[in-house]
Amino acid sequence: MMRVSMNSWYFCGTNLPLQMDWETLDSKETFQAALTASHEQLVVVFKHSTRCSISRMALKLTTSQWDLPATVRPLLLDLLNHRDVSQNISEALGIHHESPQMLVIRDGKCIHHANHHHIDPTAVKAYL
């Protein structure tokens, strides 16, 4: 498991001064572990394309507005490098793939999802 601090991560040509740590979602095993963990804690998956300006904007918004307890587990999926993981997520949760996309997972099921300009990290609070 690798954690990505948005304080120091050089992201798409921009140093983002953000205060959030994302867990890197880079394998099917990491996703399965997150599904298992979702029975104990809320899991948020952000599916991100590093080539997409809308995705970059949605990630920046999500990170800057993240005001959730440390018990929420945020995972960041780089779609360009891990398309197979994205496909696995879509199949496991029955959610059509979008990019960018935010999925909120509890008890092994997606209980909220949003994409593009509809991504709002404050909406996650309703599921705490």
Q: What is the pLDDT of residues 76-126, one digit of tens each?
A: 999 999 999 999 999 999 999 999 999 999 999 999 999 999 999 999 999
pTM of the model: 0.85
- The region of weakest confidence among 13-17, 35-39, 69-73, 98-102 is 13-17
Tell me which residue range forms the domain holding 112: 3-127
For residues 59 and 56, what is the distance between their CA atoms, to the nearest angstrom? 5
Number of domains in the chain: 1
Closest CA to 110 of 98, 5, 49, 58: 98
Q: Write the CB contacts of 9 (distance below 8 Å, at least 6 apart in sequence).
A: 16
CATH label of the domain that carries residue 62: 3.40.30.10
> Residue 17: which pLDDT band, with cuts at 50, 70 and 90?
very low
Say whether pLDDT at 11 is over 50: no
Say whether pLDDT at 12 is over 60: no
Q: What is the pLDDT of residue 31?
A: 98
Q: What is the pLDDT of residues 51-83, one digit of tens each?
A: 999 999 999 999 989 989 999 999 999 999 999
